[in-house]
Structure 1
């Protein structure tokens, strides 16, 4: 095969390494790219995804930054030994990510928070505000007004954690159809979403015990709302350079949650995209460019 001169002269795409490390008694799977001495961006995924959601973003940023994306316990390919006796709460997920950061000896880093990654990453910010250089919130909520109508069944589960309400959540969200809906909702052309995204997530949900773990986390999500005032106080006190970049058609975390960041943080900018919940699936180039602009602002 002959390689054209334009292809031969193209800038090579940085490779993404697949690694594991022991942290907090957990075998954490993570993806990493970029130079070891470059500014660090920690990518924190949401439900029901994993570091796989950052497969398109990481090569776009790795020429300038060290990008690291771990899988949370029992998400993706992170494994938890049964003898660890892991209790699945958002506090526990944050503690594991904290141990992961320590294992990699990351002293200063920016965080990209999406969905579940928001309460995990913001807990980390509360514990170590001096480590956080910037915050990218992509549909990562920290305000009551950011919770859309899609939360009604989960709020009912919080109020009445009965077996019936628990099963209703499982039947609605812990299925291939429920997972695919999260990826495609709010997108005018759903065929733009790569099918391996929701197919992989749905397949991993079918592993023994995983659905019960997810239902435990749905119940525990109420603890995140109780921490919203603390997260907001962090924004007011530390004012980290911040980008709230949001798929504006997301019914789970609605645009009001993005706009609210400016109320507490004068260093927050808001950008709304013509996208849904998983905005990286359709707008990865726009998000990558916005991150570069934020990181440049954070290092001035």
Structure 2
């Protein structure tokens, strides 16, 4: 064993001994590196809420959430990673517990959400990191990666699109809205996508067993969508999503040029981002662990343990090469 590997091994042994002692002290079977902390920080006059856990001296994993949820979607994953990694998951403005300025007070665009996220990471001192991107987290995260390639240690992609092949039938009404931002098209999207039935559908469609998915997910998300002014925010972002396909070639060039180690875990039952959007990543990424899972859009709800194990193995063997 090399001196450097020996030091890493000793550090982990000491940490595990401390965790075991803490577990016995509180009378539970296991303990995590630290409990999840719920924090806020001011960025560009916005209050950004974030969840954080783990030892800040460990490698960082940044978790970027999708629509219509928040860092709440990672509530169960965070403690499972925190024994070995520093984990941080922000809420974008207009989502979760972050500020929700009106559409007249704040630019709700993917460019601006990426800018706020980058400034947030700078402010909390995250310099190098692996990103977990899902749904909206993909166009936000891929902007960050394209503009800051030296900061990216790895990518974890879960039902997040970067190819034209991934925009299928679900997107047809939204594409009509991109072409014509009329009140009629806006109302059609609000009626179709911003109701409790639509939010529940995102969690249950394509799942193996919808009864295994807690209704707390769509109840929490819908309560936030139903805040006065939030539907207008989401409609602005539906429109702004039209800026993303034009950037796909640049993101694909980033993949080809920088070849970040990548773990892809994709729910094949997802109607929003179908499996057709997953396979093109194989064209551009050579260091790719590619996995199609038998679940839907919010894959963590059914496959938390499987995805956790994939992440831990990926981080050990491909990102930090400890084995």
Same fold (TM over 0.5): yes
After TM superposition, the structure 1 = structure 2 runs for residues 141-152 of structure 1, keeping only pairs within 5 Å, are: 141-152=161-172
Question: CA–CA distance in 2 between the matches of 1:259 and 1:268?
Answer: 11
Aligned partners of 2:131 and 2:156 also within 8 Å: yes
Deviation string 1:188-241 (CA, Å, 9 cap, x unpaired) is 321111111111100100111110010010011010111000000000000000
Q: Residue 289 of structure 1: SS of its match in structure 2?
A: helix
Aligned partners of 1:262 and 1:269 also within 8 Å: no
Q: 2:30 aligns with which of 11, 21, 27?
A: 11
Question: CA–CA distance in 1 between the matches of 2:104 and 2:126?
Answer: 25
- Residue 275 of structure 2: aligned partner: 255
Q: 1:66 aligns with which of 56, 78, 86?
A: 86
Cα root mean square deviation, aligned = 1.6
Greater RCO, 1 or 2 (C-alpha within 8 Å, sep 6+): 1
When normalised by structure 2's length, the TM-score is 0.88
> Quick one: structure 1 residues 196 and 271, their matched pair in 2 at CA, closer, same or farther if it must change by over 3 Å?
same
After TM superposition, the structure 1 = structure 2 runs for residues 76-115 of structure 1, keeping only pairs within 5 Å, are: 76-80=96-100, 85-115=105-135
**Structure 2 residue 157 is the aligned partner of structure 1 residue 122:** no
Deviation at 1:10, TM superposition (A): 2.1
Question: CA–CA distance in 2 between the matches of 1:85 and 1:211?
Answer: 15
After TM superposition, the structure 1 = structure 2 runs for residues 252-291 of structure 1, keeping only pairs within 5 Å, are: 252-291=272-311
**Structure 2 residue 302 is the aligned partner of structure 1 residue 292:** no
> Quick one: structure 1 residues 87 and 107, their matched pair in 2 at CA, closer, same or farther if it must change by over 3 Å?
same
When normalised by structure 1's length, the TM-score is 0.95
Q: Residue 221 of structure 1: SS of its match in structure 2?
A: helix
Q: Residue 124 of structure 1: SS of its match in structure 2?
A: helix
Q: Residue 156 of structure 1: SS of its match in structure 2?
A: helix
Deviation string 1:113-167 (CA, Å, 9 cap, x unpaired) is 0000000001011111100000000001101111232111111211222111110
**Structure 2 residue 194 is the aligned partner of structure 1 residue 164:** no
Moved more, 157-166 or 109-118: 157-166
> Quick one: structure 1 residues 211 and 83, their matched pair in 2 at CA, closer, same or farther if it must change by over 3 Å?
closer
Aligned partners of 1:30 and 1:71 also within 8 Å: yes
Q: Residue 280 of structure 2: SS of its match in structure 1?
A: helix
Aligned partners of 1:170 and 1:215 also within 8 Å: yes
Aligned partners of 2:102 and 2:229 also within 8 Å: no
Question: CA–CA distance in 2 between the matches of 1:200 and 1:224?
Answer: 28
Gaps of at least 5 residues in structure 2 are: 1-23
Between structure 1 and structure 2, the one with the greater Rg is 2
Aligned partners of 2:208 and 2:294 also within 8 Å: no
- The number of equivalent residue pairs is 295
